[in-house]
């Protein structure tokens, strides 16, 4: 019994990871025009909970405009409603994808 409990606790510790990052899916409004350069960039996202998150766009970040077509950082603008997925560390998300919501 004791061995099983120790094994279960070890699994729980290993399964939790070190907490350095999590994959985050977040939606909200772009707070100000993005800063775009060299195929990447960044913008402040005001999420649905009222928190401001820094979103980092890298050259391999996939961006979709509201029509569903591929886009770029320069297609994003303040006031646009977006969904962002990527790795979150603290209040920063390194985006894997950014999708502009229809009607934004």
What confidence tens digit (pLDDT) does each residue in 53-94 have?
Answer: 999 999 999 999 999 999 999 999 999 999 999 999 999 999
- Domain for residue 14, yes or no? no
Rounded Cα–Cα distance for residues 73 and 35 (Å) = 8
| pTM for the full predicted model | 0.76
- Domain for residue 47, yes or no? yes
Q: How many domains does the chain have?
A: 1
CATH of the domain at 62: 2.40.50.140
- Domain for residue 54, yes or no? yes
- Domain for residue 12, yes or no? no
pLDDT at residue 48, rounded to an integer: 87
Nearest to 103 by CA among 64, 55, 60, 67: 67
What confidence tens digit (pLDDT) does each residue in 25-63 have?
Answer: 889 999 999 999 998 999 999 998 899 999 999 999 999
- Domain for residue 95, yes or no? yes
Cβ–Cβ contacts within 10 Å for residue 58, how many? 15
pLDDT at residue 5, rounded to an integer: 36
What range defines the domain where residue 55 resides? 20-100
């Amino acid at each position: 019994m004791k061995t099983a409990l120790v094994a279960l606790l070890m699994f729980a510790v290993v399964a939790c990871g070190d907490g350095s990052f999590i994959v985050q899916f977040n939606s909200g409004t772009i707070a100000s025009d993005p800063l775009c350069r060299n195929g990447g960039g960044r913008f402040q996202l005001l999420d649905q909970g009222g928190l401001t998150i820094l979103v980092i766009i890298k050259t391999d970040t996939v961006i979709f405009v509201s029509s569903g077509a591929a886009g770029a950082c320069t297609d994003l603008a303040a006031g646009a409603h977006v969904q962002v997925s990527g790795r979150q560390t603290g209040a920063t998300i390194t985006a894997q994808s950014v999708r502009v919501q229809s009607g934004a």
